[in-house]
Amino acid sequence: MKAQTLSPVKKMVSTLVVSACMGFVAPTFMQLTPVAMAAAPVGLPDFTELVEKSGPAVVNIRTTEKISQQQGADDEQLEFFRRFFGMPIPKQTPAPRNRKQAPQEEEVPRGVGSGFIVSADGYVLTNAHVVDGASEVYVKLTDKREFKAKVVGSDKGTDVAVLKIEASKLPKITIGDSDKIKAGEWVIAIGSPFDLENTVTAGIISAKARDTGDYVPLIQTDVAVNPGNSGGPLINMRGEVIGINSQIYSRSGGYMGISFAIPIDEAMRVAEQLKQHGRVSRGRIGVQMGEMSKEIAESLGLPKAQGVPIAAVESGSPAEKAGVQDGDVVLKFNGQNIESRAELLRAVGATRPGTKVSMSVWRKNAIKELTLVVAERDADKVAQKADKKQKKELSNLLGVYVADLNEAQKKALPAGGVVIESVDGAAAAVGLRPGDLILSLNQIDVKDTKQFNAMLAKLDPKKPAVLLVRRENASQFVLIRPQAQ
């Protein structure tokens, strides 16, 4: 085999490799040229000072739930609690059969999460889902002191909750500005994943605003976040909290490289309302919104796929009073350009109830200017009303809840029909959504809500039902297999 002559560069590289393999590097190669020095990688950041500064203000949160038990519970029930909650429960003497057994309450562990102190007098921020449904909430500091906390307020829309503990001169975290963050900057998270207190993980901001939340765009990072991290702070290199760790994208239930945080600017605005009023006041205009696509935009004569199509207008709502019609496309709300459904939802929600606003809509190849007065959205009352309605209507093997058509819809559908208000179960599984119109059930024309609910009540739960559904001026048959209640 013919020997190959190495160039000076190749000789240098070869010598360096051989020297490294032998356990040393020749001194000649330690001297880098200016070009090599410029190309040398920058060292990773040191987070120790950030952790020392911010760590004491991060807390562990545990919640408990009170469950009712009957006196004289059998051995199987007692064993269940002992094994799954780690709490030995002594057997009790069975009550006489002729005596009515009084229920007892037992406080059992419910979940763990994280939070951080925002004021020296004991206000703590965390996620709403960390404390949702808890009977008691306990906050544990890094110095091992534990306090029973009061839930000042909780907002499911943004997943923010405010707690209060009775203490003073507490370490507090520094609040940053989430509007100034940039993709690519280093951040750390401190929390209690799997109840491992004061765990520190690091990464970078992957994106500033992801439309994964209803009322707030979230910060996306690659910081490791797992169950128990929820409610903990996302901290920048200046030691400032810029977000509340809230969600992960996962197919396994654990961290898979993507996590999301609530921007601290929005979280603090919500927190102030919760501290002052115990709830968050949001605007509503009374419309059901669709999604815009390129094809729909072209068919409507819009220059690009922008805006939000209106699927239905609630009777008596601010939108109906202002003249909004089904099929209108909202292009601007109160001077803000609207590109997506999430943007309109947030713009309306952020508007103070009672405010008069302008709204630009696209209707029949022209822009129409409307003025409306924003009403108040009361999520709790809406949910309670929906629950009562659903319980009253024994209708729903299909999981579809409807309302009568408004005047504009009645003109468009003289034969009748109903509009879907909400879906769950079987209806949600096949892709039905609010705003869809139901024209027939099992080939029988639907006239109104009363008739439709009566038909639903008579359905055979063992047989599939066929709905004729209209969406965006197109109708199709949808097969649903009822779910037993």
Catalytic residue, from 230, 259, 360, 440: name it.
230
Q: Annotated catalytic, 129?
A: yes
Cα separations (Å) of 128 from 115, 162, 170, 267, 398?
A: 11, 8, 22, 11, 31
Helix (H) or strand (E) holding 412: helix 407-412
Give the integer Cα–Cα distance in Å for 115 and 191: 7
Could you tell me which residues come within 8 angstroms of residue 438 by beta carbon, excluding any fewer than 6 positions away? 400, 402, 417, 418, 419, 420, 446, 452, 467, 468, 469, 470
Tokens of 89: 């429960």
Give the integer Cα–Cα distance in Å for 229 and 54: 15
* Residue 471 CA from chain centroid, whole number: 27
Cα separations (Å) of 110 from 62, 84, 107, 377?
A: 8, 11, 9, 31
Could you tell me which residues come within 8 angstroms of residue 112 by beta carbon, excluding any fewer than 6 positions away? 60, 61, 62, 63, 192, 195, 228
DSSP string, 112-150: EEEEEE-STTSEEEE-HHHHTT-SEEEEE-TTS-EEEEE
Q: Is 179 annotated as a binding residue?
A: no
Q: Is 129 annotated as a binding residue?
A: yes
Q: Is 170 in contact with 122 (CB distance < 8 Å)?
A: yes
Closest to 307 in 3D by CA, of 345, 346, 339, 342 = 339
Q: Is 442 annotated as a binding residue?
A: no
Helices (H), 144-293: 264-277
Catalytic residue, from 54, 114, 154, 159: name it.
159
Tokens of 262: 């609530």
Could you tell me which residues come within 8 angstroms of residue 323 by beta carbon, excluding any fewer than 6 positions away? 370
Residue 80 identity: F
Q: Show binding-site residues.
A: 129, 159, 228-230
Q: Show binding-site residues for substrate.
A: 129, 159, 228-230
Catalytically active residues are 129, 159, 230
